[in-house]
Amino acid sequence: MVAPLWSPPGRGISMARYNAKTTEAKWQAAWATAKTFEATEDPSKEKYYVLEMFPYPSGRIHMGHVRNYAMGDVVARYKRARGFNVLHPMGWDAFGLPAENAALEKQVHPAKWTYENIANMRTQLQSMGLSLDWSREFTTCDVEYYSQQQKLFLDLLKNDLAYRRESWVNWDPVEHTVLANEQVIDGCGWRSGAPVERRQLSQWFFRITAFQDELLAALDDLERWPEKVRLMQANWIGRSEGARLRFSVKQRETEIEVFTTRQDTIFGASFLALSPDHALTAELAAENPEIAEFVAECRRLGTSEEVIEKAEKLGFDTGLRARHPFLPDVELPVYIANFVLIEYGTGAIFGCPAHDQRDLDFARKYGLVVLPVVIPSDVETADFSVGKEAYVGPGRLANSGFLDGLTIEEGKAEIARRAEAGNFGTREVMHRLRDWGVSRQRYWGCPIPVVHCDACGVVPVNEADLPITLPDDVTFDRAGNPLDRHETWGVVDCPACGKTARRETDTFDTFVDSAWYFARFCSPHAAQPLDRAAVDYWMPVDQYIGGVEHAILHLLYARFFTRAIEKCGHIGVSEPFEGLFTQGMVCHETYRDPEGIWLEPTEVARNDAGQMVRLDNGAQVDTGRSEKMSKSRKNVIDPEDIIERYGADTARWFMLSDSPPERDLEWTDSGIEGAWRFSGRIWRIVEEAAGELPPADSPAPASFSDQAKALRRVTHQAIGAVTDGIERFQFNVSVARLYELANALASYKVVDAGIDETNGERWAQREAIEALVVMIGPMMPHLAEEGWHILGQSGLLADAAWPLADPALLVEDTITIAVQLNGKMRATLEIARDQPEDDVRVAALALEKMVAAVADKPVRRVIVVPNRIVNVVV
RNA sequence: GCCCCCUUGGCGGAAUUGGCAGACGCACGGGACUUAAAAUCCCGAGACUUAACAGUCGUCCCGGUUCGAGUCCGGGAGGGGGCACCA
């Protein structure tokens, strides 16, 4: 890529090329000096809280950040111009594993690594010229932040929203550490490559399930959220209605409890199946080595997801027989089956092979009865049979005694009623959602403020003793959690009895940090977690913007945590984000040389023959499809390079043009060049006209020439369309309308060069240029600010009001409407607007082309849509 | 396997939600300026037929509703995403 040239200086001093670098620095300094973007609560003004998902401080910003923050800044600056009191803060999601990895690899302390990264990224972000209130900046690894989080945790504990229980973790036996699910690759540790073991540890949980129905129901009211995200959350919560049924076991004094959503198919049941981890399975395994061996086999399979997916359905007949609750003569064999999950329902099922695919596969393998009990409405019962595919569609019940003839829904209700009456079952609503495990056996996270005492058990730290700070003197020369092996940090007096006890060495999942940061921005320096007055003023976030990859976890945790702290009295809202927008990724072509080595875009170029080749050795390069920019594929463009070469405005403009914000954006060199050309074009339009225009705020002349009128109409149409585009998050459409306005201005030649303003041509030109500059402001703020200044405006553009379209100027006196024959376009008709239908019809039929097209055919009907279209039917 | 979304010129995309398909940008071609180039400005362009006027076809495919379908309905193909033995 060749750097564009900032000069040559053009035709004279006043025509000097726009210098983005110095101009951008100048206005960034001006905004900072004026504290333009620092927000304060002002009850007399309507507030608007714009937030982009805060970044993890990896060290450098990437194009995804640029796109995200460019969009957020459009909204923030636009709402400011519309008179809102805007809050637009920024901070850092700074705890987490990468800092510990860096510590291990480079022997640098996580804190040092993190804060240096933040300093670097802050500089990069500031070079983008975002309208951020930097006075509210904080970092989640600041003691000031995480100590407040510890207070919130104590409140959650008091309100029974946090608790401790045993839970399975992925344990890497080589690194002596717990692994997150995404660190387990093919059943092995991502770094050590050793097979991961499942271990049980006592861990902290947040009781998200206490709000599960509310979290589901409230999705309906999140009207400014993408439908897709609401659906994903609903699926994740996974509410299903069914019944819990108890089966008595013939051979022993016990019952097996199953959960089912298809209790209507009970007469088609042919077996029961227990999870390998079911309590009864454990009992049986203790008595029977064969069962123990089978269970062990299932567990071995259990480590690798891939194997589970492909695994055959396996079962082991325990020899036990369960009694059918409605058929005294029928006994159902009890199996242990590898596809029954202990985490869901009761860890046991009844199998109805005819109407469940898994049960059918299982039944075919073990030769069990397949009895259809739901018959599609267009088939006779005797004619219906199930082959390889279970029937899960609608129908009437059959072969089912007292249920025969009922619908599925009626059958479900009847079984539930009889089970409850007979005291062997209940209606039950089950959820897929599990409580949120927040313990991480890690150093670089917020310490969980509790103490383990041999006498008193788990004791919360007294609030007065907070914060529990991380010790600095830790080493990363070995695997495992440094907090565990710290000599003094973990030794503490029990808050309850005073005896020597041990500190909790687990830290919080970093999703906890990001589950309330948006609320902390309202009062970032408060001595308590949240200042109610500030939070009540600013919350909820009016517009949240970020990647769709957080559609489930982060957004669900934030919704839960807001409810949790609402219950504790810290906040007055239950939904944190009124509006949500999920933006697409930034993509780029990929390049590989003949050896299959990935190449950076800077390492390849197109040769004279039009082929992509390596710059260093000329070898031909395979151009791969465009993919999300990633280091592993080397298809990244560094925003810092782009801003250095073209300026922040150009980078931002390119991010907003062409691609709809929710879709992926394809990075191209020609695209950024085009954006850069346009910024120069705007500059020229303003520069060349500025000296000829009437002074700022001149009163409108009494009359306008036709050309001036036409320009004014274009201007006001652009105002309407650009505004509409921003409101609807269609920035690419706003950009197109701004191009049109710029094109109109570029071809606007004032006929009367004199300053005499009787025809209003210069006045209309100023109106148009000012509108252009103001509307470009949210997208290219520095260039717009410079233009505003050149136009002789005294204040900052950042404080200027958004233009309003004058409806009177939008209407065109003469309009062109389409004339169709039998629905096909044949001609157009120029006519004054709002003419009576009869006149339009007559005029349309009188058109030469229509007369010829209709010829001698009888006109059967003429449809006139006012000011739109005429359709002649013959 | 289940659920959801998408498919419009060479490319990214637009179309007031049923009313002139292809706005705007990119790439491309032609021209102006220039000794020349860059930059800038102007013009052209969906495909096919035609010397031209003009005509025919055209929003993934097939069918339907309608005076009229990119838009609504039914079926199919291709691409993408989410969840995944959830009983």
Closest by CA position to A621, among listed A607, A638, A637: A607
pLDDT of residue A608: 66
Q: Which nucleotide has the least CA–C1' distance to A730? A: B14
Q: Is A48 helix (H, G, I), strand (E, B) or coil?
A: strand
The nucleotide minimizing the C1' distance to residue A815's CA is: B20
Position A11 confidence tier, pLDDT thresholds 50, 70, 90: very low
d(CA A159, CA A206): 11
3-class DSSP state for residue A94?
coil
Confirm if A151 and A528 have CB atoms less than 8 A apart: yes
Mean pLDDT of A85-104: 93
Per-residue pLDDT band at A73 (split at 50, 70, 90): very high
Ranking A191-205, A442-456, A717-731 by mean pLDDT, the lowest is A191-205
Average pLDDT over residues A512-520: 96
The pLDDT of residue A172: 77
Residue type, A677: R
Q: Which nucleotide is nearest to A742 (CA to C1')?
A: B24
Buried b or exposed e, range A219-233, using 16+ CB within 10 angstroms: beebeebeeebbebb
Cα separation, A253 vs A729, whole angstroms: 64
User: How long is the CA A649 to C1' B18 vector, in angstroms?
Assistant: 40
The DSSP code for A762 is H
pLDDT of A585 higher than 60: yes
Q: Residue A198 and residue A167: Cα distance in Å, rounded?
A: 10
**Interatomic CA–C1' length for residue A376 and nucleotide B74, angstroms:** 21
Q: Note the pLDDT of residue A514.
A: 95
Instruction: Quick: pLDDT tens for A826-873.
Output: 888 888 888 888 889 888 888 888 888 887 788 888 999 888 899 998
Say which residues have a Cβ less than 8 Å from residue A604's Cβ, sequence separation at least 6: A591, A612, A613, A614, A615, A621
Nearest to A319 by CA among A348, A290, A341, A340: A290
ipTM, interface predicted TM-score of the complex: 0.94
Count the residues in chain A: 874
Q: How far is the CA of A824 from the C1' of B47 (A)?
A: 19
Name the residue closest to B5, CA to C1'.
A228
Q: Which of A75, A94, A93 is nearest to A132 (CA)?
A: A75
Which bases on strand B have an atom closer than 7 Å to a protein beta carbon? 1, 3-5, 11-16, 19-21, 23-27, 38-42, 55, 67-69, 81-87
> Which residue minimizes Cα–C1' distance to B40?
A681
Residue at minimal CA–C1' distance from B14? A733
In the beta sheet, which residues pair with residue A333? A321
Q: What is the share, in percent, of chain A residues with pLDDT greater than 70?
A: 94
Gap from A214 CA to B59 C1', Å? 43
Spatial CB neighbours of A799, under 8 Å, sequence gap ≥ 6 = A36, A80
- From the CA of A825, how many Å to the C1' of B54? 15
pLDDT of residue A752: 60
Using only C-alpha atoms, chain A has a radius of gyration, in whole angstroms, of: 35
Spell A839-873 as b/e; 16+ CB within 10 A means b: ebbebbeebeebeebbeeeeeeebebeeeebbbbe
CA distance A166 to A226: 37
Q: Which of A146-150, A199-203, A623-627 has the lowest mean pLDDT?
A: A623-627
pLDDT computed for residue A16 by the predictor: 56
Span between the terminal Cα atoms of chain A, in Å: 61
- pLDDT at position A10 is 33
Confidence class for position A607, pLDDT limits 50, 70, 90: confident
Place of tokens 């071809």: A747
Identify the H or E element spanning A292: helix A289-301
Closest nucleotide (C1' vs CA) to A817 is B20
Q: For residues A189 and A598, which has the higher predicted lDDT (pLDDT)?
A: A598
Contact A20, A127 (CB under 8 A): no
Nearest nt to the A349 alpha carbon by C1': B87
Estimate in Å the CA A233 to C1' B4 gap, whole number: 12
For residue A17, give the nucleotide whose C1' atom is nearest its CA: B39
Round to a whole number and report the distance in Å from the CA of A815 to the C1' of B67.
Answer: 22
The mean-pLDDT minimum among A21-30, A156-165, A289-298, A722-731 falls in A289-298
Across chain A, mean pLDDT equals: 88
- Say how far A654 CA is from B66 C1', in Å: 42
Give the pLDDT score at A723: 96
Residue A697 has pLDDT above 80, yes or no: yes
- Closest of A797, A801, A803 to residue A131, by C-alpha: A797
Alpha-carbon distance of A340 to A273, in angstroms, equals: 7
The pair of three-digit structure tokens given for residue A540, joined into one six-digit string:
């909820």
Alpha-helical regions (H) of A446-488: 482-485
Half-sphere exposure of A765 (CA within 13 A, CB side): 29
Point out the least confidently predicted range of A327-331, A505-509, A592-596, A734-738. Answer: A592-596
C-beta neighbour count of A200 within 10 angstroms: 11
The tally of CA atoms less than 13 A away on the side-chain side of residue A748 is 30
Question: What Å value separates CA A393 and C1' B76?
Answer: 22
Give the residue whose CA sits closest to B55 at C1'. A826
Instruction: Specify whether the CB–CB gap between A719 and A805 falls below 8 A.
Output: yes
- Of A307 and A685, the structure prediction assigns the larger pLDDT to A685
Residue (of A660, A652, A801, A659) closest to A723 by Cα position: A801
Q: Residues A397-417: what's their mean pLDDT?
A: 91
CB A775, CB A714: distance < 8 Å: no
Q: Residues A88, A37: contact at Cβ < 8 Å?
A: yes
Composition of chain A by helix, strand, coil, percent to 5: 40, 20, 40
